[in-house]
A and B are shown apart, each in its own frame.
Chain A
């Protein structure tokens, strides 16, 4: 059932991309065998925004990743986005907090509207509970150059949640950037299995100092502060976890 949804979603996305590749050709004198005077290009890209080792004050160290890959033209694209972590020493497999396959369309100069399906759960094992989502994202560059990703999710059980991620690059030198980062998550329904409470779930802020060895490869160091609120905090306390934490990270940002 679920895999069928994926197949249909992917298929329709690809169909939309193909339709977008048509060339302007009517009205010229050119025979059909001639090439188009200007070719339209599609691109593919992978951005690993964060690949980092995080060492919290409380709790276990973790390897954390946050990537997005896409293929398409200027207007229509297919995205694969994933965020997750592998907590060290918990004897559990790595977990995708989200793994989304999305169709994306440029709806304004700086904004893409994205929709598709998402997955949360373990990668290869049954170490983590699983669920699927319908996902709608608004991703883009807000005024003042704030990278923004606003996400609304409805799970296969009908649970609704939302999250906001934003980043800003402060240019210290031509290659050094200080990047404040903010993540806020909220939910309309309580899902204890995933540690999700009703209302504001958590706020996470971070600060990273990155050096661009090349534009495509930039190691960084940084730190973060995270706090859970309300029911979510209660759930955390019940499972013996901390409701507030700080940590340091070291990692690399890259794209190709």
Chain B
């Protein structure tokens, strides 16, 4: 895989030439930024928005740019925010010169890339950071292909639009074909200072949540479920001092959700010719927002997850956690417009674009769904396991209230379940008890449409290291929502001494147990995590694992990357509040 021969152009290049004539037409309409997000997709005709490797330069500065029709001060990369599409080719030796024109240190982390530790771009771990006025040169061999992204790992800069897509063209033909591709980068923009957002979360519990349960909801519930059940359910949440509507910390009350840097009202359009097969490279580059992505009227076929090819899964909708990427194929046959609809998980807003054969077309925007209430699975009880026989609509009676420092024995599915005995391990590739890979997550109704679940993800081919794990490492995801403290094993980053140790070249199983009632996208730098979703030899490789409330997720890791690596929740403010650890491979 290391040596690249450039005799065969990647498939996408050829398509590009084929559609070259058509590209000229859109020029006038393309005053839009960033240019890689132009409506004809990948386009050599408009290279200013695509930075093509192996050798390229990026300048980071604070710019005045309009966002959603208002003046904003985002961080720009080569004049755009989010930044340009960086396009590299598998087998290249990339040389990325990053110049900091900000008044504070900055960095770029290449999310999902397997590279030397000094090139990973995490200040304090990989390097000192890039000082104002300084240029740092990242050099690394490109040993993988697929859809990734990049972003700042300094402070809260990511929230200011310091992010962009990263596409690596495969050296060899990928296991699927398409005629045209579009990159869809989802972000969340706020006109507030990110430091104020963080402070508001710290000081005002539920600060951004304007969808809490009210007295009116109570009476509506009484009518539907009766007084006793409603009161019991309310009392349970109140007793635990939690909110069943705590779905997202930061919401549409401050966020404008962007698709390729464009607000829904901009009607950013991705073009196609009827009958073409399109590859949509969908990246959740937001700071805090999970999205549910669908294109009403089109079946999507998921062909890659976190950059890695998977066996095709036809779906109507998928949830994309923060920092995850999915590649889907769609084949619109009609000469009509389709909405690219990415609804935030808490239903407080959406990112929107249009997939259309011509500019200026619009599609009917789907109605937003109502916010869902968290059920008992968020409380650490697992509905399918030991609680069968219990009416799931009645949460009353649930008493697993100790969220922090929860006893191992209370972990979902662990009691009353054939759990692994001490000293023995499950076979490789088998789903852990307590996992819910077959569930789509809060607010998604699988009976309504076909929704992607983690169990659907099967690697296209088995990965080389088939060794069983030599040891198991279990980490709990913990938090105190009243204080907005987030941590692993009850300790914030500032409270732990020293890193998590991986032995060089060992094969280990990492088990993540979510003791909180929020989803956490957990990201390990430098190494892949093979998600043990029950797919046996074909368990998929990911860089970011979404762990649902009360869920237990396990992944196999080959610790082949010597050095210190960041390991953290990819919700920006969770990370900043302490849900961050260092993994040292030595």
Contacts and interface: CB of A to CB of B under 8 A. Distances in A.
Q: Report whether chain A binds chain B.
A: yes
A131 interface: no
Contacts of A34: 123-125, 127-129
Interface stretch (A59-67, A84-92, A169-177): A169-177
A78 to B, nearest CB: 16
Interface in B264-319: none
A19 interface: no
A189 interface: no
Interface in B393-427: 403-404
Nearest to A175: B210
- Scoring B403, B482, B584 by chain A CB atoms within 10 A of each residue's CB, the highest score goes to B482
Interface stretch (A22-30, A97-105, A229-237, A242-250): A22-30
Contact of A38 (B207, B404, B575): B575
A183 to B, nearest CB: 22
Contact of B485 (A24, A74, A255): A74
A37 interface: yes
Contact of A35 (B123, B238, B480): B123
Interface string B240-271: 11000000000000000000000000000000
A72 to B, nearest CB: 11
A109 B480 contact: yes
A184 B575 CA distance: 42
Contacts of A170: 215
Given A37-B493, A171-B213, A27 B499 contact: yes
Contact of B580 (A23, A27, A38): A38
B199 A43 contact: yes
Nearest to A27: B498
Nearest to B499: A27
Interface in B379-405: 403-404
Interface string B454-490: 0000000000000000000000000010110100000
Interface string B96-109: 00000000010000
Nearest to B563: A29
A86 to B, nearest CB: 28
B238 A144 contact: yes
A40 B122 CA distance: 16
B128 to A, nearest CB: 5
B564 A109 contact: no
Contacts of B146: none
B235 interface: yes
A24 B482 contact: no
A144 B122 contact: no
Contacts of A26: 497-498
Dominant SS at the A interface? loop
B562 to A, nearest CB: 10
A11 B124 CA distance: 33
A33 interface: yes
Interface in A112-167: 141, 143-145
Contacts of B566: 37
B155 interface: yes
Contacts of B578: 38, 40
A45 interface: yes
A172 B215 contact: yes
Interface size class of A (residues with CB under 8 A): 35 or more
Given A24-B494, A141-B241, A171 B203 contact: no
Contacts of A33: 128
B582 interface: yes
B584 A27 contact: yes
B138 interface: no
Contacts of A144: 235, 238-239, 241
Nearest to B402: A109
A24 to B, nearest CB: 5
Given A28-B584, A143-B241, A35 B128 contact: yes
B213 A38 contact: no
B202 interface: yes
Contacts of A174: 210-212, 214
Interface size class of B (residues with CB under 8 A): 35 or more
A170 B214 CA distance: 8
Contact of A45 (B203, B210, B480): B203
Interface in A45-71: 45
Given A74-B483, A74-B485, A106-B483, A38 B493 contact: yes
A29 B584 contact: yes
A22 B492 CA distance: 12
Contacts of B216: 173
A36 interface: yes
Nearest to B206: A215
Nearest to B237: A145
A128 B41 CA distance: 77
B493 A171 contact: no
Contacts of B127: 34
A29 B241 CA distance: 41
Interface in B204-247: 204, 207, 210-216, 235, 238-241
Contacts of A145: 238, 241
A43 B198 CA distance: 10
A129 B202 CA distance: 39
A145 B110 CA distance: 43
Contacts of A175: 210
B564 A28 contact: yes
A39 interface: yes
B576 interface: yes
A109 B404 CA distance: 8
Contacts of A110: 241, 482
A41 interface: yes
Contacts of B403: 109
A215 B155 contact: no
A45 B215 CA distance: 30
Interface in B181-209: 198-200, 202-204, 207
Contacts of B123: 34-35, 37
Nearest to A35: B124
Given A24-B496, A28-B582, A171 B214 contact: yes
A172 B485 CA distance: 28
A160 to B, nearest CB: 31
Contacts of B576: 38-39, 41
Contacts of B203: 43, 45, 255
Given A37-B566, A143-B238, A171-B215, A30 B124 contact: yes
A69 to B, nearest CB: 12
Interface of B: 105, 122-125, 127-129, 155, 198-200, 202-204, 207, 210-216, 235, 238-241, 403-404, 480, 482-483, 485, 492-499, 563-564, 566, 575-576, 578, 580, 582, 584
27 contacts: A27-B582, A27-B584, A28-B564, A28-B582, A29-B563, A29-B564, A29-B584, A30-B124, A30-B564, A31-B128, A37-B123, A38-B494, A39-B576, A41-B576, A43-B199, A43-B202, A74-B492, A109-B403, A110-B482, A141-B241, A143-B241, A144-B235, A144-B238, A144-B241, A171-B214, A174-B214, A215-B207
Given A27-B498, A43-B199, A74-B483, 16 more contacts: A24-B493, A24-B496, A27-B499, A27-B584, A28-B584, A29-B125, A34-B129, A37-B566, A39-B576, A141-B482, A143-B240, A145-B241, A171-B213, A215-B204, A215-B207, A255-B203
Which A-B residue pairs are the 3 nearest by beta carbons?
A27-B498, A37-B124, A40-B494
Interface of A: 22-24, 26-31, 33-41, 43, 45, 74, 106, 109-110, 141, 143-145, 170-175, 215-216, 255
